[in-house]
Amino acid sequence: MRGHLSTHAVCTAMRGDIVSGMLTPGSRLVEDVLAARYGVSRVPVREALRTLQAEGFVTTRHHAGACVAELTEQEAADLLDIRAVMEPLGAARAAARRTTAHLKVLRGLVRLGQQRARHGHPGDLCQLDGWFHETLAQAAGSPSLTAPLIQLRRKIEWTYAVEPPAHVTDSWNEHGAVLDAVARRDAERARALMAAHIERSLPAYRLRRPASVVRESKHPVNVVRARI
């Protein structure tokens, strides 16, 4: 059981370091180095690399072994196109399948986001936005839809920097409108509102410029203590 938790924790930590840019696109991923980095043996590192390769964060090169993947501009653009299809579908499914617990969390996030936006405290709005969209994906009630949606959002976060919207309150009011449709189980309205929200957000996305060095993780993970 501990081995399973260790693998999951290493995978989570490594994915986080890739998304944040601590492990940069194209950099080699050497098992011994990664094992020392995260304080584990090579076994969970090897298993985590397999998982991240399946997710598209890691690739294998001839004579170089495992490396952090590098997306082309077309592949990066495809991520946003896929999001424009999948997130409205997820919102529609959430309207049909959400639970009372999902609604409680979503309402709390929207209320907090609107408060932060109104009072000029944008510091944690990006994180709140991510939690809102991931909770909505979980409310879809389908692992075959929820998992790809969350994975897609991580890839977009990895690939793009998002500029704060000029009218941040408008963005959170759009979240509130989606939530209202989900609460009323109006699947088609939830789908349409999410599609419009995504389209309006597109100008804020800018491709990141990958750094040229691999920095040390700010949060090294010793998975013996991890509880993920």
Q: How far is CA 87 from the centre of its chain?
A: 13
Helix 187-201 to helix 168-183 angle, to the nearest 10 degrees? 160
Tokens, residue 112: 């907090």
Q: How far is CA 79 from the centre of its chain?
A: 12
Total-model pTM: 0.80
Tokens, residue 168: 């941040």
Which pLDDT band holds residue 30 (cuts at 50, 70, 90)? very high
56-104: pLDDT as tens digits: 999 998 877 999 999 999 999 999 999 999 999 999 999 999 999 999 9
Residue 178 parent element (H or E): helix 168-183
Tokens, residue 92: 């529609």
Which pLDDT band holds residue 228 (cuts at 50, 70, 90)? very low
Residues 6+ apart with CB under 8 A from 145: 86, 89, 90, 93, 137
CB of 68 within 8 A of CB of 57? Answer: yes
Residue 126: its pLDDT value, please?
85
Map out the domains of the chain with their CATH numbers: 2-68 (1.10.10.10), 73-207 (1.20.120.530)
Report the chain's terminal Cα–Cα distance, integer Å: 13
123-142: pLDDT as tens digits: 688 889 999 999 999 999 99
How does the average pLDDT of the chain come out, rounded? 87
Task: State residue 40 phi and psi, 5-degree precision.
Answer: -135, 180
Q: How far is CA 217 from the centre of its chain?
A: 18
194: nearest Cα among 107, 151, 143, 136: 136
Residue 3: its pLDDT value, please?
46
Residues 103-109: what's their mean pLDDT? 98
